[in-house]
Amino acid sequence: MGAPKRIVAAASLIAGLAVVVASTSSSSAGASTASSSGKGAKIAFACATPALNSFYAPFEAGAADAAKQLGVSVTYTGLSAVQSAAAEAQVVQAAINTHPAALIVCNFFPRAITPLIRQAIAARIPVFDTGNNAGPAAAAGALATVGQNDYLGGQDAALRMIAAGVKHPLCVDQVPDNPDVASRCQGFAAEYTAHRLSVKNLNIPTLDLKNVTLQISDMKGVLSADQSLDGMIELGPEQGPAGVQAWTEAGRSNPGSHVATFDMSTNIANEIRSGQLMFAIWQQPYLEGYLPVVLATLYLAHGYAPPGEVLTGPTIVTKSNLAIVKTALAKGQA
């Protein structure tokens, strides 16, 4: 299956940015201040950390690589144990208080973070958003959003599962308070509804977020109670393998024809290769760490006004294109 046009367009943009980045790295060395140039600028990156979820390790790696290549200073701080609106707001507020040359945020909880984006902009701090859907941050004045359109990702996943014959799946949301994650199930359900089929949702209790064993129990309980469910999709890297285990423990067979996931990890790649998972929706978190640093640097160095939304996904990963993903995983870039 060829790459969707939206992914091809993003790849073209990334290639073009690489040329400008090289120019920035070499030409801005003589600029007088960090506030008016990219090189040497202090950029604050407020998001989350691998202590919360393995998904964020490539975020940090991408940000660190971009900082090193461009000669800028990136301070990456994030959530460690609890993913909530209050916790994220505290991290973003702390970043604003350092008065950086630019601010990168993950606006996972718009009601809490959007006002802080406006606060930063009022303080003349340019803001870039990453890792989520563009709408709320763009409305608040963020210069660009890097990430995946999760609603489209849900639709793409549904089309793939419908084609495989899954008629009544379970969509498992491990962070129901995060509207971007929720939109994955929304897009998934909308596509099923358009095909006159139905989806059942399971919202994992917040207290179970850090305990995969409890999440497996939650999924297994629903699968055991509702035998009409003939498929399942998870929305995170830990949840994919957990879903395979829950499916099997619930007495179901052949998860490779019935279970899929969002996001990527070494375990997920191995389960796709072995036929235990149908596919994964990959949003490229390395690029979600790397590209906003590039965009912030270009803005500070050249006044470059980036596009409003840079899509890094969704990309469907199956056995057919797994090799390139495994290469990225080996480099800590997936």
**SS3 readout for 268-328:** HHHHHHCCCCCCEEECCHHHHHHHHHHHHHHHHHHCCCCCCEEEEECEEECHHHHHHHHHH
Q: Identify the pLDDT of residue 55.
A: 86
pLDDT band for position 17 (cuts 50, 70, 90): low
Interatomic CA distance for residues 74 and 228, integer angstroms: 50
Comparing 13-22, 78-87, 127-136, 325-334, which segment has the lowest mean pLDDT? 13-22
Q: Identify the pLDDT of residue 31.
A: 29
- At residue 32, the 3 state secondary structure works out as coil
Comparing 164-173, 174-183, 215-224, which segment has the lowest mean pLDDT? 174-183
pLDDT surpassing 80 at residue 4 = no
The percentage of residues in the chain with a pLDDT greater than 90, rounded to a whole number, is 72
Comparing 13-22, 65-74, 234-243, 262-271, which segment has the lowest mean pLDDT? 13-22
Q: Identify the pLDDT of residue 192.
A: 98
CB atoms inside a 10 Å sphere around CB 261: 30
CATH architecture of 5-148+285-313: 3-Layer(aba) Sandwich (3.40)
Interatomic CA distance for residues 255 and 123, integer angstroms: 52
Largest separation between any pair of C-alpha atoms in the chain: 67
Interatomic CA distance for residues 164 and 316, integer angstroms: 14
5-148+285-313 shares its CATH topology with 150-282: yes
Interatomic CA distance for residues 128 and 233, integer angstroms: 30
**What is the average per-residue pLDDT within 262-276?**
95
Higher pLDDT, 332 or 73: 73
* 238-254 b/e (C-beta count within 10 Å ≥ 16 → b): bbbbbbbbbbeebebee
Do β-strands 102-105 and 144-148 pair in parallel, antiparallel, or remain unpaired?
unpaired
pLDDT surpassing 80 at residue 191 = yes
pLDDT surpassing 70 at residue 19 = no
pLDDT surpassing 80 at residue 20 = no
Q: For the CA atoms of the chain, what is the radius of gyration?
A: 20
**What is the average per-residue pLDDT within 197-206?**
94
Q: Identify the pLDDT of residue 39.
A: 67
Comparing 94-108, 118-132, 204-218, 253-267, which segment has the lowest mean pLDDT? 204-218
**What is the average per-residue pLDDT within 120-149?**
93
Q: What are the sequence ranges of the domains in the chain? A: 5-148+285-313, 150-282
Average pLDDT of the residues of the chain? 88
Q: Identify the pLDDT of residue 93.
A: 98
The percentage of residues in the chain with a pLDDT greater than 70, rounded to a whole number, is 88
Q: Identify the pLDDT of residue 11.
A: 45
Higher pLDDT, 207 or 75: 75
**What is the average per-residue pLDDT within 254-278?**
96
Higher pLDDT, 161 or 79: 161
pLDDT surpassing 80 at residue 23 = no
pLDDT surpassing 50 at residue 178 = yes
**What is the average per-residue pLDDT within 286-296?**
97
Homologous superfamily of 150-282: Response regulator (3.40.50.2300)
Q: What is the pLDDT of residues 95-124, one digit of tens each?
A: 999 999 999 999 989 999 999 999 999 999
Those residues whose C-beta lies under 8 Å from the C-beta of residue 6, and which sit 6 or more positions away, are: 149, 152, 311
